[in-house]
Structure 1
Amino acid sequence: MAELGLDPDEFVAAADGSPEGETDYEEVPPTPVLAVVGRPNVGKSTLVNRLIGRREAVVQDIPGVTRDRIAYDALWNGRRFTLVDTGGWEPDAKGLQAAVAAQAEMAMQTADAVLLVVDASVGATATDQAVARVLRRSEQPVLLAATKVDDDRLVSDTASLWRLGLGEPHPVSGLHGRGSGDLLDAVLEALPETPRDLGLAGPGGPRRVALVGKPNVGKSSLLNRVSGEVRSVVHDVAGTTVDPVDSLVELDGEVWRFVDTAGLRKRVQTASGMEYYASLRTRAAIEAAEVAVVLIDASEPIAEQDQRVISMVEEAGRALVLVFNKWDLVDEDRRIAMKRELERDLVRVQWAERVNVSALTGRSVTKIAPTLRTALESWDKRIPTGRLNGWLADVIAATPPPVRGGKQPKVLFATQAQTRPPTFVLFTSGFLEAGYRRFLERRLREEFGFTGSPVRINVRVREKRSKKS
């Protein structure tokens, strides 16, 4: 170890439980909620991006891009609040748009204040007036934002919006930022210091779970099933979800933060427009999560898309649970075919626990929480250095590394460098073949578990000292 320029005592201390390489979770107090509502394509998501100071909401020049309640953390003048973007509200909507409108109404009912967004270049439409009538009866404070006021010429036109009966209209440009500071000041005045509904989150914050999978596999249906209410819009049109949807869900006596994500159709490099940004946000949701629930349609053959999503979770180093949905559609022939597919296509993630569920009927949904706990326990697990090296010595004595270049490499020392995911570093006298590293990983799992978590093994080869002349 001295030859490597490393202090063995320092490595032992880190591997035996020091906080180095671990993530601390601070207790974040609940924040008040502002719901942003309005008819489709008035620029709500553009305004949301301006108010939160970053581009998170998917924006495209077609109506109906946002379809769910999307929560974002916002900060202004030292005060934090949660901003909820909603789909366009239509009073007489049908089908998918009716579900979108229901999400907007739910946001209005549960928020601490509401921001109604109206397109100043068009003026108050019949739909705007219908929304205003609903909001005038609500108990929450209501603010009125007149968007697309990009220059002085439209400022005078906002005066006509007083007739909506919601007080002073705030002219603002989501595109250029004009008037956004004044609007945020008004938002802080309207919001209470603490939210009306403190929610379910307990001390330390809930564990973060990303729901990922290809389009129309049932992610939103599963989220609605585990939460016991309609949190995400569900429709038989593939790709209904565009933004990641955050929901605090009480499951098996514990609160979890579930994130429903957009289904991934293509690789991010080949996706375009709305699908491109949705793909980026899905990848970001995986990175921000601690455990990913990959949903696979059990009634269909495992597809390349399914394997690509699993690879994304592996690359991100997140804990993994495979949930096979639509089990109510699986017959005996499909079960036999699936067994072959699992052995052929998912052999590299044999360590991931599998649950067969039906989001439609609720079958075995209660089994998801225990598998999440198991995966996260493995993801957080740390093996003491002494125990690790004692085990490794026995394994190597029984099965030494293969000879390479006429010499057999020796493993000098091993330590667990970090958790989340468990990462082990082997200091050796020579290179270890990939096959032998996989062998060590299998034996490591047999001895210590790590069910549901990826395990990384890195090799550091000791450099030979140059002879002094």
Structure 2
Amino acid sequence: MTEETPTANHDEEQVERALRAGLEDFDLSDEDRALLSREGGDDDELSEEETRPVVAIIGRPNVGKSTLVNRVIGRREAVVEDVPGVTRDRVAYDGEWSGRRFTLVDTGGWEIDAQGIHLRVAEQAEVAIDLADAVLFVVDATVGATDADEAVVKLLRRSKKPVVLVANKVDDQRTEADAAMLWSLGLGQPWPVSALHGRGTGDALDALLDVLPAKTTVAGAYQRGGPRRVALVGRPNVGKSSLLNKLAREDRVVVDNVAGTTRDPVDEYIELGGKTWRFVDTAGIRRRVHQTRGADFYASLRTQTAIEKAEVAVVLIDAEESIAEQDIRVVQQVIDAGRSLVVAFNKWDLLDEERRYYLEREIERELVQMTWAPRVNISAQTGRNVDKLVPAIETALDSWDTRIPTGRLNAFIGEIVAGHPHPVRGGKQPRILFATQASTRPPRFVIFASGFIEHGYRRFVERRLREEFGFEGTPIEISVRVRERRGKNAGR
């Protein structure tokens, strides 16, 4: 990429202004105009995220706070165990109810006279109250108000934050009387809820929205995103667990070849290259001998979940074996989900010269559409080259986040079209009128044209965009909006 000069920038801005003015001669929809007026759309989105109100979920250990978090966010992400103290730190999630978005903060259980790790948990809960706009105070209705609950009430009163009292574990009408007993806490109406079954959660969330401000008063308290999220995916037994253990420098994941060993993906926070990364592991997936089709279905489902939770996927492929249709399918899942991509060939140290030669031919043939993905040849067993994963992951994420200024983009598209115009079809030659990058993560481009742009020409434009701007490790989406000149159909 060439370095920009002030003159070049000025010329690009002039090109953009001229092309925008030319668009006014064409029939544009309200959606078109909204897109064209939203320069740097992702920045607007980020500011919206940063101003979302913050809701802290507070309560004693094991009253069901994480279960309630999972119910609100609509997926199983917060760790739930029937053991007090599983959640230790403040963890932020994106929540939404009735079209209102907010940041939901899960906390560890608050206890009086806490010591050691439990003291730190209690401190985190107190900080969460300070850094919230409203509080969901969760009490176990089957136990009733305890001394610890009374202490939390004093803490909440001092904070002067709006509080919605959630009486959890009210699984049926018979236990609703237990919830009514919690009026004694003096926090107003207790909302009977079963976080496990979803019963009553809607009413409690409605009550929350009534006291929640439109914008947060604690902006910047929670950095959006946290550690970058990496999914290790691939077909069974390619070495995902071994790689995770090698990266973590300890045995965190069970590695075995026993058929039928299935469990949920485990998230691990791992220090690599001076940064903390959040690895989503899907290593527990194994093919069941007698239920191959069923197991494949669940493996695919879990892989999809891991990919959707991640920002970048490292697809592991067993270099000793021929590239299988299942490998290509996993890579395609990543691309279809719009996530950035790194391809890692595992067991590289076990290959002889002949296998390496044939593998290169397979890569050329089977992965021809993914030549833009960074490739790392590693050994999860010995640790060879695993340090090269971080630069590859960072490259892919940088590309995924890249935004091209509209003036620069249109000047470049103009050069492409001048050098290689779209072929004439049926006596007509479609003209590219204007291009804009609608969003990042992954980069999405919208091209306004006077006629249909063929798939082959779109691929050509994508290839040239990659040559000019890099985009190594990220899919690119290009959509075309065909618009006719205004008044063309008048009088027909």
- Which TM-score band (shorter chain)? 0.5 to 0.7
Task: Note the C-alpha offset of 1:402.
Answer: 1.1
Provide the C-alpha distance between the structure 2 equivalents of 1:309 and 1:50, rounded to a whole number of angstroms: 32
Alignment of 1:267-416 (within 5 A): 271-272=293-294, 276-277=297-298, 279-416=300-437
3-state SS in 1 of match to 2:38: helix
* 2:76 corresponds to which of 34, 44, 56: 56
CA displacement at 1:383 relative to structure 2: 0.5
Task: Tell me if 1:19 matches 2:43.
Answer: yes
Report the equivalent of 2:28: 5
CA deviation vs aligned residue, 1:275-333 (integer Å, no higher than 9, x gap) = 65554333122112111110111111111110110110000000000011111211111
Q: What is the TM-score when the length of structure 2 is the normalising length?
A: 0.60
Alpha-carbon distance between aligned partners in 2 of 1:295 and 1:233, rounded to the nearest angstrom: 18
Q: Assess, with a 3 A threshold, how the Cα gap between structure 1 residues 204 and 437 changes in structure 2: closer, same or farther.
A: closer
In structure 2, do the counterparts of structure 1 residues 177 and 392 end up closer, same or farther at CA, with 3 Å as the change threshold? closer
* Letter matched to residue 491 of structure 2: K
Which residue, out of 64, 80, 88, partners 2:106?
80
Helix, strand or coil for the counterpart of 1:383? coil
Match of 2:281 in 1: 260
Distance, in Å, in 1 between the alignment partners of 2:412 and 2:328 is 33
Task: Please tell me whether residue 468 in structure 1 is matched to residue 475 in structure 2.
Answer: no
The answer to whether the 8 Å contact 1:233/1:240 transfers is no
User: 5 Å matches for 1:139-154?
Assistant: none
Shift of 1:431: 0.5
Aligned to 1:4, the other structure's residue is in SS state coil
Q: For 1:322, what is the secondary structure of its paired residue? A: strand
Structure 1 segment 216-227 matched on structure 2, within 5 A = 216-227=237-248
Supply the distance in 1 between the matched residues of 2:414 and 2:320 (Cα, whole angstroms).
46
Change (3 A) 1:382 1:310: same
Change (3 A) 1:10 1:352: same
**1:380-415: CA deviations, max 9, x gaps?**
001111111111111111111011222111101111
* Alpha-carbon distance between aligned partners in 2 of 1:82 and 1:279, rounded to the nearest angstrom: 33
Quote the offset at 1:336 in angstroms.
Answer: 0.5
Structure 2 CA distance, aligned partners of 1:258 and 1:395? 40
Q: Relative to 1, partners in 2 of residues 1:215 and 1:441: Cα closer, same or farther, differing over 3 Å? A: same
Counterpart AA for 1:56? R
Question: How much does 1:456 deviate?
Answer: 0.9
Q: Which residue of 2 aligns with 1:88?
A: none
Indicate if the aligned counterparts of 1:207 and 1:256 stay in contact, CA closer than 8 A: yes
Check conservation: 1:351, 1:453, Cα contact below 8 A. yes
In the aligned structure 2, how far is the partner of 1:296 from the partner of 1:32?
Answer: 44
Give 1:229 deviation, angstroms: 1.8
Q: Is the 8 A contact 2:432 2:450 kept in 1?
A: yes
Tell me the residue number matched to 2:447. 426
Shift of 1:467: 1.8
TM superposition shift of 1:232: 1.4
What amino acid sits opposite 1:382 in the alignment? Answer: R
Alignment partners' CA distance in 1, 2:262 and 2:61: 19
Structure 2 unmatched ranges of 5 or more: 1-22, 78-85, 94-103, 110-116, 123-168, 175-193, 200-221
Determine what percentage of the aligned residue pairs are the same residue: 54
* Residues 265/70 of structure 1: CA separation in 2 closer, same or farther (3 Å cut): farther
Task: Provide closer, same or farther for how the CA distance between residues 12 and 176 of structure 1 changes in structure 2, counting only shifts above 3 A.
Answer: closer
Q: Is the 8 A contact 2:87 2:108 kept in 1?
A: no
1:408–1:52 distance in 2 versus 1, CA, 3 Å: closer
Looking at structure 1, the residues matched to 259 and 108 of structure 2 have their Cα atoms a distance apart, in angstroms, of: 29
Q: Tell me how large the CA RMSD over aligned residues is.
A: 4.3
TM-score (norm 1): 0.62
SS at match of 1:19: helix
> Secondary structure of the equivalent of 1:463?
coil
| SS of alignment partner, residue 348 of structure 1 | helix
- Structure 1: stretches of 5+ with no match in the other structure: 37-45, 58-68, 84-107, 114-146, 153-172, 179-200
**8 A contact 1:213–1:219 mirrored in 2:** yes
Q: Which moved more, 1:355-364 or 1:21-30?
A: 21-30
Mapped partners of 1:418, 1:290: distance in 2: 15
Q: How does 1:33-44 map to 2 (within 5 A)?
A: none
2 CA distance for matches of 1:343 and 1:380? 27
- Separation of aligned partners in 1, 2:195 and 2:479: 48
Is residue 234 from structure 1 mapped to residue 260 from structure 2 by the alignment?
Answer: no
* In 2, Cα distance between equivalents of 1:71 and 1:293: 29
Which amino acid in structure 2 is aligned with residue 225 of structure 1? K
Q: Distance in 1 between the 2:57 and 2:346 partners?
A: 34
Question: What residue is the counterpart of 1:451 in the other structure?
Answer: 472
Change in Cα spacing, 1:320 to 1:32, as seen in structure 2 (3 Å) is farther
CA contact (8 A) 2:230 2:313 kept: yes
**CA spacing shift, 1:379–1:48, aligned 2, 3 Å:** closer
- Residue type of the partner of 2:398? E
Deviations 1:325-380 (A, max 9, x none): 11121111110011111111000100000001111100001100001110011000
- Counterpart amino acid of residue 490 in structure 2: K
